[in-house]
Structure 1
Amino acid sequence: MNNNNLGTKPHYLILDGLRGVAAIIVVFFHLAEPLASSRFVNVVNHGYLAVDFFFLLSGYVIGYAYDDRWEKLTIGGFLRRRFERLHPLVIGGMTLGALTFYFTDSAIWPLIHTVPVWKLVVVTLIGYTLLPIPLSMDIRGWQEMHPLNSVGWSLFFEYIANILYALGLRKLSSKALAGFVALAAVVLVHYAVTNPNGDVAGGWTLNAQHLRVGITRTIFPFFAGLLLSRLARPTFIKHAFVWCSLLVAIVLFMPRIGGETHLWLNGLYESFCIIFIFPLIVYLGASGVVHTKTEAKICQLLGDLSYPLYMTHYVLVYFYVAWVSNHKGNTLGQAWPYALLTFGGAIVLAYMSLKWYDEPVRAWLRRKMN
């Protein structure tokens, strides 16, 4: 089958903008995290839920873009399109992480200065494939499956969701998909309210516990987004971008619920947000209308920057975390100039990655692969 005739569908500009809003909050989360004495007091306490929001957005957009195209689309053609969209920045982020690896040496990562160049090269090449590295190959000391670019773990699970969709779950009827999603929701709630941490954070280590977290965090939101794309009939909602952005910020900035004594309450809060609030936000965003050219440009810019920002910002965060660890005891008030510098650098790096690397490489891949 020829996949060249598929064309493209119009983007949901507001959903693009919301992806950018969530990506910016992820950067804030990672800048505040090293200053928090525990997971109970982070200024952006639920910033990690942005990943679950991304998964739900992804499922919705995949359903909208591809669900009615499989008469003209092959599995290989779909996976090539996903590779073209996602993988250039996977390789770009890993390369930046490798080039800066030795410069982030700090007491918090005692392994760095002991890593031979050959091992760094091997980890980089494995990182290019997004296959997780075993703990025996850890070169940073955080037990991450992608120690050169921490956020790579979520792309690993994103690919798994895309592959499952392409290989068979796309064929489920809406009724069967609803049953599958309901079961995934039960699994999510059970994990969130019973695990020892009282949250859904995790998924970045190659062990049984984190693989369970990663699969649990991926399956419900991705396929709930797919179901939403099939069932929802967007209506006309005014000022949807503003209201949805506010909702995203409220969810992610919400302080820890229940404290250290009632951990299950926080798990219940996070489950509620993932199962109900995030789908509501996506529905409202899909129903919204962009009213002005300025709003359209803002949403487009945020959408364009969202993925490059997510995939490259942690390279700079490694430097920031090293600085924080070398200046223990600094408060947010003392660290904010460095945090602001890192944030500004992340925005610039994301824009450069988009214009000088991601867009040209994707254009080249389209010519070569189609």
Structure 2
Amino acid sequence: MTTATLANKPHYLILDGLRGVAAIIVVAFHVLEAHSTSHLDLMINHGYLAVDFFFLLSGFVIGYAYDDRWGKITIGEFFKRRLIRLQPMVVMGMLVGAAFFYFQDSVIFPNIHSVSIARLLLIMLIGFTVLPVPPSMDIRGWVEMHPLNGPAWSLFFEYVGNILYAIGVRKLPNWALAILVTLAAAALIHLTTRGATGDVIGGWSLEPSQFYIGCVRLIFPFFAGLLLSRIAKLTYIKNAFFWCSLLLIIVLSTPRIGDADHLWMNGLYESVSIIVLFPLIVYLGASGDVKGKYAGRLCKFLGDISYPIYITHYPIIYTYFGWVYDNKYKLEDVWPVGLLAFASSIALSYLYLKLYDEPVRAWLTRKLLLKPANTN
């Protein structure tokens, strides 16, 4: 059996590690979110910006891996590769979400008690495709496009970005791509500084305002990452993983800027983070190198579990969120349970990776991409 490789290129191991750092921060952010009262007092306040960082990383890696290979691969093969990489864990996330949903019982989920098994299974099957459900089909009461596994909204937009890239954006010259990215940056700044909340929180619903937020959150970082992959002249950065991780942690954990009367201040911070700091972090990470086997193993481990963590942790968060809300618990009273939710999300993701994701992706690769060797 033989298969064509995309390219004999070095692998950006540091970027894998940074993706893992961001994914772990997302889990911590969601656990602590259960103890917040609004978007103004979130702990690890800008943890939700990890999604925008993921989009930028994806655009960069897609451009690096595929931009110069279109003479050797087809659009169909590109989509097969993306489906093999992303779809198995989408299915797992929905299975876990359905299992947790069935056993959940919380007043914070207003629709949960009226959902039949048939309706639950229908939503799960739709979720397997990552296609969003309209608000009329919401079974939780939070108006999510994926009510069994909320974070899957970003996978829907990830696919949109991949489709736009494959069918047209990849053909844009750098000057045209730069114009697109500039217009997207302007839309992002307008959303964050002139919007109703002073942040980019949103994107998980097909409601028009939410869907617009999702589009804005996708278009700038994804295609800015693509542009960065084309124009960046990399240099060597010593200890890049440490410095990039530190900068990423600072950006995502910085307290909210300004108050309810000065929402634009926080919006400006988020715009600078997405437009300036995230591309800088990716550039520095791509410019670095991993020294030593332990550092390499750490980056690989973080990269391996990053996607499973992100796409499977939220059913646990739903349960923790409902338990905290129903009992009016404060963080100082139940922090060991919160720590357990955090740790179990990471541990289970590793099991999903090793027992399910890697074997399934290997099988799909053999079935969909490998070609019989020429025996003549």
| TM-score category (smaller protein) | over 0.9
Matching residue's letter, 1:211: F
- For 1:6, what is the secondary structure of its paired residue? coil
Q: Work out the CA distance in 2 between the residues paired with 1:108 and 1:207.
A: 20
SS in 2 for 1:127: helix
Return the alpha-carbon distance in structure 1 between the equivalents of residues 341 and 175 of structure 2.
Answer: 47
Aligned residue in 2 for 1:201: 201
Relative distance call for 1:337 and 1:7 in structure 2 (3 A) is same
Taking the aligned partners of 1:164 and 1:320, their CA distance within structure 2 comes to: 37
Task: String of CA shifts for 1:41-60, please: whole Å, max 9, x gaps.
Answer: 11111111000000000000
Instruction: Classify the secondary structure of the residue corresponding to 2:68.
Output: coil
Partners of 1:240 and 1:257 lie apart in 2 by 28
Which residue of structure 1 aligns with residue 258 of structure 2? 258
- Amino acid paired to 1:228: L
Residue 138 of structure 1: aligned partner? 138
User: Superposition pairs for residues 140-159 of structure 1, below 5 Å?
Assistant: 140-159=140-159
In the TM superposition, what are the counterparts of 1:13-162 in structure 2 within 5 Å?
Answer: 13-162=13-162
Structure 1, residues 195-250: CA drift from partner, whole Å, max 9, x if none? Answer: 11010110001111011000000000000000000000111111111111111111
Q: Distance in 1 between matches of 2:129 and 2:35?
A: 33
Q: 1:318: Cα distance to partner?
A: 1.4
1:263 maps to a residue whose letter is L
Mapped partners of 1:9, 1:369: distance in 2? 23
Please give the secondary structure, in 1, of the residue aligned with 2:34.
helix
Moved over 4 A (4+): none
Q: How does 1:236-315 map to 2 (within 5 A)?
A: 236-315=236-315
Q: Give CA deviations for 1:105-134 in whole Å, capped at 9, x if unaligned.
A: 101113112101111111111111111101
- Mapped partners of 2:220, 2:110: distance in 1: 37
After superposition, the C-alpha distances for 1:239-292 in whole angstroms (9 at most, x for unaligned) are 111111111111111111111110011111100000000000000000111111
Mean Cα deviation higher: 116-125 or 7-16: 7-16
Q: Name the residue aligned to 2:356.
A: 357
* Deviations 1:318-360 (CA, angstroms, capped at 9, x unpaired): 11112111221x2221121011101111111100010000000
SS for the counterpart of 1:35 is coil
Unaligned runs of 5+ in 2: 370-376
1:343 maps to 342
Partner secondary structure for residue 313 of structure 2: helix
Residue aligning to 1:172: 172
Per-residue deviation, 1:293: 1.1
* Contact residue 47 and residue 253 of structure 1 kept, 8 A: yes
State the Cα distance separating 1:3 from its structure 2 match.
7.5
Kept in 1: contact 2:6–2:66 (CA 8 A):
no
Q: Which runs of 5+ in 1 are unaligned?
A: none
* Residue 8 (structure 1) shift: 6.1
**CA separation in 2, counterparts of 1:5 and 1:181?**
30
Residue equivalent to 1:368: 367
Q: Which amino acid aligns with 1:170?
A: R
Task: Indicate the percent of aligned positions where both proteins have the same amino acid.
Answer: 60
How many matched pairs?
A: 368
Letter paired with 2:210: H
Letter matched to residue 299 of structure 1: C
Amino acid at match of 1:13: L
Instruction: Using the TM superposition, name which of 29-38 and 163-172 deviates more.
Output: 29-38
Question: Normalised by the size of structure 1, how large is the TM-score?
Answer: 0.98
Worse-superposed segment, 73-82 or 103-112: 103-112
How far apart, CA to CA, are the structure 2 residues paired with 1:144 and 1:60?
28
Secondary structure (helix, strand or coil) at the match of 2:358 reads: helix
How far apart, CA to CA, are the structure 2 residues paired with 1:251 and 1:171? 33
Task: Specify the code of the residue in structure 2 equivalent to 1:271.
Answer: S
CA RMSD of aligned residues (A): 1.2
**What is the TM-score when the length of structure 2 is the normalising length?**
0.96
Matched with 1:331 is 330
Map of 1:11 onto structure 2: 11
Q: Which whole-Å CA distance do the structure 2 matches of 1:162 and 1:367 have between them?
A: 22
Q: Give, in angstroms, the shift of residue 176 of structure 1.
A: 1.1
Residue 213 of structure 1 aligns with which residue?
213
Partners of 2:130 and 2:152 within 8 A in 1? yes
Which letter does structure 1 place at the counterpart of 2:117? V
* Equivalent residue letter for 2:266: N
Contact residue 102 and residue 113 of structure 1 kept, 8 A: no
Cα deviations by residue, 1:144-181 (Å, 9 ceiling, x for unpaired): 00000010000000000000000010000111111111
Q: What's the CA shift string for 1:18-65, capped at 9, x where partnerless? A: 000000000011001110122111111111100000000000000110
Question: Which AA in structure 2 matches 1:136?
Answer: S
What SS class does the counterpart of residue 4 from structure 1 fall into? coil
Task: Supply the AA of the counterpart residue of 1:76.
Answer: G
The one-letter code matched in structure 2 to 1:339 is: G
